[in-house]
Amino acid sequence: MNLSFLSDCAVQDLPSALAERADHVLGGSAIGFPAGSGKKTDWPLQTVVTPLLGGNREMMAEAWLSDVVCLSGEFEGIRWRCAGPLLFGVIELDEADFAGQAGSSPLQEASAEAYRRIFTLLDAQQRPHLWRVWNYLSDINMETAGLERYRQFNIGRQDSFLEFSRGATGNVPAACALGVAGGPLSIAFMAGIHPAVPVENPRQVSAYNYPSEYGPRSPIFSRAVLAYLPAQEVLFISGTASIVGHQTVHPGDLAGQCRESLANIAAVLAEANRLACSDTFVMSELSFRVYIRHATDFLPARNILLPLIGTDVEIVFVQADICRHDLLIEIEAFALHFLGNR
């Protein structure tokens, strides 16, 4: 099978745009306001409740497409589809349904339960290897019960990784975790029969090796992964910010953080190309999603980034809170290559 991507489609146009290919849609996302729009699809669709920046649209949609017919299912709140060796799923859990136990918050419990269900599904469908995960939660930087919510999420996520003997270092998926305006804990994921190849950034400490000053449990993600379909190589670059080593650099300096984030993506690209089996991945071919903490920073950030990555790239700007309160911007990206060209 081969994978393709439909970007920047109006949510209301998505069903008609894909009507003739509806059984080839693995899943996708609807980004923006109002919350709840665009959920009436036959495939798993993650709703990201956060404002789009630039233009006058309230919402936009994206979709992953397979060139073979997909199979659909539901499992304990997860809507999923699979095609060939690949599975895409979405789960949303309301924290209010998790009372929290002694020493454990509702978010921690919801995060652990979400990943338990994901791992159970993947094992049952014999596609056990997570490639890419998109995590969204409200009030990510807020402190409750003496601990920042992002750190609570990391505890719950790691609990499930360890419970299912997945390991919390090394061969872990590419991922992001962003704070949005509201709604449930929302997780979309892509997984495969075969493990992806993790890619780390020589400029940074691996996230899963962060020191304890960033929380009682480290985040679990690789800086990028190279994942393989029979005829394709897929590069997923995780959410990337202005971090060198393990420390935030250029605090309060939007321009500095934009440039440092791209320097980190360039370093990840270089490492990915050292490991890749296809043609060289280059910055100008990537599809980007850029998260900006303050909406007023959109125009300055765009004016800094576009000359550096190219004006013809696919790029979506959204407002979201970054996992550290001193980070102003985070950038994720991906690219698809056909194999046999190197």
E strands in 185-246:
185-192, 197-199, 224-229, 232-240, 243-244
Helix (H, G, I), strand (E, B), or coil: what is residue 180? strand
Select from 197, 194, 198 the least CA-distant residue to 208: 198
Do residues 27 and 78 make contact, with C-beta atoms less than 8 angstroms apart?
A: no
State the catalytic residue, choosing from 92, 148, 260, 330: 330
Asked if 192 and 131 count as a contact pair (C-beta separation under 8 A), the reply is: yes
3-state secondary structure of 18: coil
Contact by Cβ (8 Å): 234, 88? no
Tokens representing residue 160 in the block: 């499930």
Torsion of CA 43, 226, 306, 34, to 10 degrees: 20
82 vs 37, 125, 154, 172, 192, CA distance in Å? 24, 9, 27, 21, 9
Instruction: Tell me the two tokens of residue 127.
Output: 């596609």
Catalytic annotation on 330? yes
- CB burial of residue 85 (10 Å; 0-12, 13-18, 19+): middle
Active site (catalytic) residues: 330
